[in-house]
A and B are shown apart, each in its own frame.
Chain A
Amino acid sequence: MIKATVYVTVKKGVLDPQGVAVQGALHSIGFQEVESLRIGKYMELTLDTNDRAEAEERLKAMCEKLLANTVVEDYRYELEG
């Protein structure tokens, strides 16, 4: 078994309205040091394989095909086990 973690965030340069709203909220309650804030998605996957290279290749395909929309989102992942 391999555990995979996928992080999807709005691309740099693409407006993240949620991030902007939350940043504004932090400012309004006294956290002025917050210079930027971006909200993303966190996904945990358990993969039924022990072949790390294959797992990585297939995970990348999952990100490209479904988990992220690369027109507006970036993704990165970590593999464990």
Chain B
Amino acid sequence: MKFAVLVFPGSNCDIDCYKAVEEIGESVDYVWHTATDLSAYDCILVPGGFSYGDYLRCGAISRFAPVMAEVAKAAEQGKFILGICNGFQILTEAGLLPGALRRNESMKFRCHDTVLKVVNNETPFTREYAKNEEVIIPIAHGEGNYYCDEETLEALRLNNQIVFTYGDNPNGSIADIAGICNERGNVIGMMPHPERAVNTLFGSEDGKRMFTSILKSWRDSHDTASIS
């Protein structure tokens, strides 16, 4: 399986994402934001950071980067797309996920471990978790306050698109939402950083199963024998 980690000017979690894929022993490339072909990749990771300096709004400018047209195409083709932190903001700005991320209610940049509840363990990204399992994954953001209107929230609930919620809401997100997926389930966005929780040395390895989940989903759909 082949992973791509997108790199925008100002991305700063790209190396963490790259290492997380290495941790599960799969092949991974950095892909610069000017790339116009993602056909070689099965999963696209949109990493955290401050792409384009967060000018105007987080993700507002990156969503027009050349590579984003390819990301939309990959989403359409059913490939796996995971946006983390700034990656989540970019995916909402691009309209690949509903809603928007606002300034944290506290106006503070929050950087600490959070307890997340796995609300939906049927996505390709969360199948190795138990439903309602509590996991520890860190956050690091100033603008992670998820918002959508009532109608959208109802649709998210109805379609089981709420993937993670916070145990103790750190930013004011509506319905304690930490991560959501699209209707089809192949595009997911989340503020917490699973790539920073892939080894007990980091304090938690609860994030690693997101990456192994993706791998397992890919193997299932490609009928490849599991090696590990």
Contact = CB atoms under 8 A, between A and B. Distances in A.
A18 B100 contact: no
A10 to B, nearest CB: 8
Contact of B106 (A17, A41, A66): A17
Contacts, number: 38
Interface in A3-31: 10, 14-15, 17-18, 21
B60 interface: yes
Contacts of B57: 69
A71 B99 CA distance: 6
A8 to B, nearest CB: 9
Contact of B147 (A21, A41, A67, A72): A72
Given A69-B93, A72-B100, A18 B147 contact: no
A67 B103 contact: no
A14 B148 CA distance: 9
Interface of A is mostly: mixed
Given A18-B107, A71-B147, A66 B102 contact: no
A5 B103 CA distance: 24
B102 A17 contact: yes
A9 to B, nearest CB: 13
A51 B93 CA distance: 31
Contacts of B106: 17
Nearest to B95: A71
A71 B60 CA distance: 13
Contact of B103 (A18, A41, A66): A18
B104 interface: yes
B56 interface: yes
A17 B105 contact: yes
Contact of A15 (B92, B93, B99, B172): B172
A67 B105 CA distance: 23
Contacts of B99: 71
A41 B147 CA distance: 19
B78 to A, nearest CB: 25
**Which of A10, A15, A21, A71 is most buried by chain B, counting CB atoms within 10 A of its CB?**
A71
Interface string B102-146: 111111000000000000000000000000000000000000010
A63 B105 CA distance: 25
A18 B108 CA distance: 11
Given A17-B104, A66-B56, A71-B92, 5 more contacts: A15-B172, A67-B56, A69-B93, A69-B100, A72-B147
Interface of B: 56-57, 60-61, 64, 92-93, 98-100, 102-107, 145, 147-149, 172
5 contacts: A14-B102, A15-B172, A41-B56, A66-B60, A67-B56
